[in-house]
Amino acid sequence: MTMAYLVQHGEKKRLPGDPGLTQAGREQAIRAGQWLRDQGVRTLYSSPLRRALATADGIASVTGLAIQTDARLRERLNWDGRQTYDSFLALWARTTEDRDLVPAGGDSSRQAGARLMEFLAGLPGAESPVAAVTHGGVTIDLLRTLLGDDALPPGLLSAGVPPCAITAVDDLNVVAIASRT
């Protein structure tokens, strides 16, 4: 059995491409690291995107763990600035509604959920518990895959996962969703 804590990256700057964290986001990462240290986390993974790596850096500064990157933890779609932010949000909404819609330069919601599930299924050999810094969209895609839309907390699909909220998954069984305690 592998307990995995999926950590939403900290608050990011509102910029296209691969933005870093705000000061609040860096502080959130430190607090998440303190909580994860108290849970006895023994392994730390991160999406290769800058906001996730910056969050993992904050966690590592508290836990002393080395960061291992894994592309399966990346977001399904990233705003690159070639379109307006409103156009990006409209595309995000379409890919959320139609889980099989594959946008240019991204994955469908179903593909992203399967990708994150593959990452988790491959963890049994890892030292448990594991922390994995990832993104809100792909975390919700995983939850939709494992639980179905009806089992999601009200508003999660529309509001998203708050910065540094933690979703706990024990051997592909969801234990907690977007916890901020």
- Domain at 131, CATH number: 3.40.50.1240
| Residue 71 CB burial class (10 angstroms; 0-12, 13-18, ≥19) | exposed
pLDDT of residue 79: 87
pLDDT of residue 26: 97
In a domain, residue 34? The reply is yes
Q: Report pLDDT digits (tens) over 5-32.
A: 999 999 999 888 899 999 999 999 999 9
Does pLDDT of 93 surpass 70? yes
pLDDT of residue 17: 85
pLDDT of residue 90: 94
Determine contact, residues 162/178, Cβ cutoff 8 Å. Answer: yes
Determine contact, residues 39/181, Cβ cutoff 8 Å. Answer: no
- Whole-model pTM: value is 0.94
Pairing of strands 3-8, 130-134: parallel
Pairing of strands 166-170, 43-46: unpaired
Does pLDDT of 106 surpass 80? yes
Copy the structure tokens of residue 169. Answer: 């998954």
- If one counts the domains in the chain, the total is 1
pLDDT of residue 2: 87
In a domain, residue 169? The reply is yes
Rounded CA separation 60/20 (Å): 17
In a domain, residue 1? The reply is no
In a domain, residue 94? The reply is yes
In a domain, residue 95? The reply is yes
Residue scoring higher pLDDT (65 or 181): 65
pLDDT of residue 24: 97
In a domain, residue 49? The reply is yes
In a domain, residue 117? The reply is yes
Instruction: List, in order, residues 6 or more apart from 133 with CB less than 8 Å away.
Output: 7, 9, 44, 45, 46, 47, 52, 53, 55, 56, 59, 73
Specify the long-range contacts of residues 116-124, CB closer than 8 Å, at least 24 apart.
116/6, 116/72, 116/73, 116/141, 116/142, 117/142, 117/145, 117/146, 117/172, 118/72, 119/45, 119/70, 119/72, 119/73, 120/2, 120/4, 120/169, 120/172, 121/172, 123/2, 123/4, 124/1, 124/2, 124/171
Supply the range of the domain harboring residue 140: 21-179
In a domain, residue 10? The reply is no
Which candidate, 49, 56, 55, places its Cα nearest to that of 138? 49
Copy the structure tokens of residue 130. Answer: 């594991």
Does pLDDT of 124 surpass 80? no
pLDDT of residue 150: 92
